Amino acid sequence: MKTAVVFVHGLFLNGSEFTLLRRRLTATLGFEAHRFSYPTVRGSMTATLTQLSQFVKRIDADRVHFVGHSLGGVVLCRYFQRERCERGGRVVLLGSPLVESRSAQAVARHAWLRRVVGPLVAEELLQPCEPRTWRCERELGLIAGTTPMGLGRFFAQFQEPSDGTVAVSETRLPGHTAHLSLPVSHMGMLISRPVAAEVSEFLAHGRFTAAG
């Protein structure tokens, strides 16, 4: 059975930041890796989901897993609210603001910064929208960071553990299968060996090895 993994990046990124994580996963699991890139500042969620749907349909694999980081996790949540992927697979989201984003809300108080983050972030994290939940039959693993070293800490005040950009509570999507907090920062989780090991474990078995 041929298995693939689709990586979906976050705001201002293009997916190249997944390089180390992708190499570790392919070395451990032998999965074929695919990077989905989308315009995080100029695009809309509707257009992004259409592009992602077309991208996934072109993948020649019997089973397709998904890994999303930050805003990429929000995109994947909306994707599985809209699409029913006939092929099996699991989903892992890393540092994704699935419930709310205090960082985005704090940034939006500055008019020039609100323009910088673009309409997709405004649509999903600043304006009233349909609540994100997980009703998909796919198993969903969530990983949050607790080392506050992200840029968001310069705008938002977190009175709880956070990765510096996203608070742990903001990552707990209703309906998830498993949730895990690790001592990593928002970007540091992408190069963390323990994070890579936990992502591999969840994609392979639908569980994390560490206590959440």
Give the span between the Cα atoms of 19 and 108, in whole angstroms: 31
Q: Give the CATH number for residue 92.
A: 3.40.50.1820
Q: Give a yes or no: residue 32 inside a domain.
A: yes
Q: Give a yes or no: residue 211 inside a domain.
A: no
Give the span between the Cα atoms of 38 and 27, in whole angstroms: 26
Angle between helices 19-29 and 193-205 (to 10 degrees): 50
**Structural domain count, the chain:** 1
| Per-residue pLDDT at 54 | 96
| Per-residue pLDDT at 192 | 98
Q: Give a yes or no: residue 100 inside a domain.
A: yes
Q: ∠ CA(113), CA(44), CA(116), 5° rounding? A: 10
At 136 the three-state DSSP class reads: coil
| Per-residue pLDDT at 112 | 53
| Per-residue pLDDT at 156 | 64
Q: Give a yes or no: residue 188 inside a domain.
A: yes
> Which structural domain range is residue 125 located in?
3-205
| Per-residue pLDDT at 212 | 62
> What does pLDDT average to in each consecutive run of 10 residues of the chain (212 residues)?
95 94 96 95 92 96 97 96 87 96 71 66 80 92 92 68 94 96 96 98 95 65
Q: Give a yes or no: residue 66 inside a domain.
A: yes
Q: Give a yes or no: residue 21 inside a domain.
A: yes
| Per-residue pLDDT at 122 | 79
At 181 the three-state DSSP class reads: strand
Q: Give a yes or no: residue 212 inside a domain.
A: no
Look up the pTM and report it.
Answer: 0.93
| Per-residue pLDDT at 116 | 63
CA 126 to chain centre: 18
At 209 the three-state DSSP class reads: coil
Structure tokens at 135: 């009703």
Q: Give a yes or no: residue 134 inside a domain.
A: yes
